[in-house]
Amino acid sequence: MKKITRKNFFKGLALGTISLPFAIRGCGSDNFAQNKSSTSGILNSKKYQWKCVTTWPPNFPVLGEGAILFSKWVKEMSGGRMEIKVFGGGELVPSLEAFDAVQSGAADMAHGCAYYWAGKSKAAQFFATVPFGMNAQQMNAWIINGGGLELWEELYANFGLIPMPGGNTGVQMGGWFNREINSLADFKGLKMRMPGLGGKVLERAGGAPVLLAGGEIYTGLERGIIDATEWIGPFHDSSMGFHEIAKYYYSPGWHEPGTMLEFFFNKERFEELPEDLQAIMRTAAMRVNHWMLLEFEQKNAEYLSKLTELGVDIRYFPQEVLAELKLYTETIIEELTTEDPFTKKVYDSYLAFRKKASAWSELTEKVFYNSLQNS
């Protein structure tokens, strides 16, 4: 057999007298074996079919849409090798059982919000939002670049899951009420749909937090199961018809100043995927994370004007009410971090980043917004 030199090796590739598989073997079988895992996704045409459950109603705008776009983009980037069927809440499992479904393997992945899983771990809700805490861009910075994701992964690994950022709502509205909120006393006995740490603050103020999935809120408010509700902002709130059954629309959303959504995956199944498909999934999640915040900004700006045209009574929480709710928030967080070492570890990271981010925003964004108000 003629000896293959560097020169005639490349000449043979160009002329087609040497095939690519032979060329790969000629590069050294040991080296190829060592790198087989990193190229297996490229050489392997195996197709995968996954199930994704969500905590949102089927085909729900923006939130459920984000999961559908994720599926679409993954299929496109993988050349059709990865297909993900998205199920809305209740189609495969109830909305608030998504965590268990992915952990058990009944579904491969899910889209939701980490504060729904506070019953699994107190630390989980800090990866969603903190009352009077960081806004969307600060949350994204902490999670993606400031060490938050590593802590999130450490927590979810205990449940056999892998989390990824999956969108952000931006600053939310404070909610819909059928009573005026003039003082903290107006929260007493109030049954209000409010998850996460905000619900704990409401309870401390004398209210009764109720955890309802999105698809159940209108009926709950209409039938008196709840007296008030928060959801997101003008786009979703008007689409769900809350202005038809509630008198007052309050601002700001002190309880959710920048709520991070999530994708989470069955860890074993994710790690079984070829490395290129894993990278595609991470890329698609990051794209959804960016798209969703921008979509919320656009839609809420548009629909605020529509609610105003409808004559919705938009109110502001009194400053003294917000100040008292903030004190309750600080007390509750202190209690949670004292009770659970990992929650303290997460919050210490959150707080350290927030102090730096706040100093920067005080110097820049706050000054800018104040100058607009005074102009």
Residue 4 pLDDT: 46
- State the pLDDT at residue 9: 39
Distance CA 330, CA 222 (A): 33
Task: List, for residues 132-162, the tens digit of each pLDDT value.
Answer: 999 999 999 999 999 999 999 999 999 999 9
> Is 181 part of a structural domain of the chain?
no
pLDDT tens figures, 266-280 = 999 999 999 999 999
Q: Considering the entire predicted model, what is its pTM? A: 0.85
What pLDDT does residue 18 have?
Answer: 44
Q: Is the pLDDT of residue 372 over 90?
A: no
> Which pLDDT score, from 0 to 100, does residue 11 have?
44
What is 222-235 written as a DSSP string? HTTS-SEE--S-HH
According to DSSP, residue 48 is labeled E
Work out the burial of residue 288: count CB atoms within 10 Å of its CB; fewer than 13 is exposed, 13-18 middle, 19 or more buried: buried
113 located within any domain: yes
Tell me the pLDDT of the chain averaged across its residues. 90
Q: Is residue 38 part of a domain?
A: no
Sign of CA dihedral 142, 144, 150, 152: positive
Query: Distance between CA atoms of 114 and 231, rounded to whole angstroms?
Result: 16
pLDDT at 100 over 50: yes
Residue 32 binned pLDDT confidence (cut-offs 50, 70, 90): very low
3 belongs to a structural domain: no
Residue position matching structure tokens 């408010």 = 221
CB 250 within 8 A of CB 173: yes
DSSP string, 246-303: -SEEEE--TT-SSPEEEEEEEHHHHHHS-HHHHHHHHHHHHHHHHHHHHHHHHHHHHH
Position 212 scores a pLDDT of 86
Residue 130: inside a domain, yes or no? yes
Note the pLDDT of residue 191: 96
Residue 355 belongs to some domain of the structure: no
Average pLDDT over residues 201-207: 97
Distance of CA 146 to the CA centre of its chain: 17
Q: Is residue 153 part of a domain?
A: yes
Under the banding of pLDDT at 50, 70 and 90, the label for residue 215 is confident
Q: Would you state the pLDDT for residue 213?
A: 82
Based on the structure, what is the number of domains in the chain? 1
Distance of CA 228 to the CA centre of its chain: 24
Q: How much of the chain exceeds pLDDT 70, in percent?
A: 88
Q: Are 243 and 237 in contact (CB under 8 A)?
A: yes
Say if CB 182 and CB 251 are below 8 A apart: no
Rg, C-alpha atoms of the chain: 25
The pLDDT of residue 205: 97
Q: Work out whether strand 175-177 and strand 248-251 pair parallel, antiparallel, or are unpaired.
A: antiparallel
At 35-92, the pLDDT tens digits run 444 444 455 789 999 999 999 999 999 999 999 999 999 999 999 999 999 999 999 9
Indicate the pLDDT class of residue 21, thresholds 50, 70 and 90: very low
pLDDT of residue 45: 85
- Spatial CA neighbour of 264 closest among 75, 126, 122, 107: 107
With a cut of 90, say whether residue 360 has pLDDT above it.
Answer: yes
Give the pLDDT score at 180: 96
pLDDT band (50, 70, 90) for residue 375: low
240: three-class secondary structure by DSSP: coil
CATH code of the domain in which 151 resides? 3.40.190.170
Name the percent of the chain lying above pLDDT 90: 83
Query: How many whole angstroms separate alpha carbon 50 and alpha carbon 71?
Result: 10
In the predicted model, what is the mean pLDDT of residues 108-115? 98
Could you tell me if 110 and 263 are in contact, meaning their C-beta atoms sit under 8 angstroms apart?
Answer: yes
The least confident of 60-74, 206-220, 285-299, 332-346 is 206-220
* CA distances (Å), origin 227, targets 29, 218, 258: 70, 11, 24
* More confident site: 224 or 161: 161
- 197 assigned to some structural domain: no
Q: Is the pLDDT of residue 24 over 70?
A: no
Residue 194 confidence (pLDDT) above 90:
yes
| pLDDT, mean of residues 171-181 | 96
> Distance between terminal CA atoms of the chain?
84
pLDDT at 42: 52
Asked if pLDDT for residue 29 goes beyond 60, the answer is no
228-229 and 82-87 strand pairing: unpaired
Domain span at residue 52 reads: 47-168+259-297
Which spans in 27-90 are helix H?
29-34, 36-43, 63-77
